[in-house]
Amino acid sequence: MVDIHSHILPGLDDGSKTMDESLEMLQLAASSGTTDIVATPHANLEFSFDPAVVSNLVNELSDRTKGLIKIHKGCDFHLNVDNLQDALANPAKYTVNGRAYLMVELPDLTSISAMRNVLNRLLETRIIPIITHPERNRSVQGNLKEVELWVKDGCLMQVTGQSLLGHFGQTALRFAESLFDSDLVHFVASDAHDCVNRPPNLAPAFKLVSDRWGSERADALFNHNPQAVLWGEAIYALPKPNKKARFFAFWK
């Protein structure tokens, strides 16, 4: 599996605090079947983002893990005015491996209709936004039709594995299921912050997706699509879910 969203770099944000904790997280990820992981430290008003520091830490962790798992560079890009202007001017600064895809975290409280215009500015600059954990965003929850418009425009959606297991509450779970049943999920990632409460273990979510929506869909969301992100390649149509999948309407 390929995990495109994690906070494994020590001391940069609210994720790993020490190098030892980072190594423990990487060992856990590898033991649960993850072959590649993207380090995506926050870039927001609380945590500054320095590509040079990120590169140095990725290189150090790669040396220490000795090929156990491949670590890639990325960013958990908070969509605010200053970040947007900088990304439009310097797109490779924030994108995964300096290529086409950007992990975009939306503000918790925002104008959904206005956000479409902002996302289209990124698309016009040939930056492909991957919206991180839309199922956990209070402004997005329940706005399935707006998410459909974003996807038609060219945006992609990443659900957190633990959301599917109920760890972020029933509202996040039910909206994640609605996104799945509407074919609006392109990736599942860990958004790992530690080894206990938010671990980099995608295996339980992979099994759940395989059982409920089919193994083809699971392979696309946990492997093929994330691999394309690493190298800036195109993502094609997703396989349809199996016929046994139930539809859970969010507002029922």
User: pLDDT tens-digit profile of 136-174?
Assistant: 999 999 899 999 999 999 999 999 999 999 999 999 999
Instruction: Round to whole Å and give the CA distance between 111 and 129.
Output: 17
Using pLDDT thresholds of 50, 70 and 90, give the confidence band for residue 112.
confident
Q: Is the confidence at residue 2, as pLDDT, over 80?
A: yes
Instruction: Round to whole Å and give the CA distance between 121 and 115.
Output: 10
Q: Is the confidence at residue 247, as pLDDT, over 70?
A: no
Q: Which two tokens stand for residue 23?
A: 């190594």
Instruction: Round to whole Å and give the CA distance between 194 and 217.
Output: 27
Instruction: Round to whole Å and give the CA distance between 98 and 91.
Output: 8
pTM here is 0.93
Q: For position 239, what pLDDT does the model report?
A: 59
Q: Is the confidence at residue 96, as pLDDT, over 50?
A: yes
- pLDDT > 70 fraction of the chain, expressed in percent and rounded: 94
How far, CA to CA in Å, does 190 sit from each of 32, 34, 131, 206? 12, 10, 14, 11
Phi-psi region of 129 (alpha: psi -120 to 50; beta: other; left: phi over 0): beta
Q: Which domains does the chain have, with CATH numbers?
A: 2-231 (3.20.20.140)
Query: Could you report the per-residue pLDDT of 214-229, keeping only the tens digit for each?
Result: 999 999 999 999 999 9
Is the distance from CB of 158 to CB of 130 less than 8 angstroms?
yes
Q: For position 1, what pLDDT does the model report?
A: 98
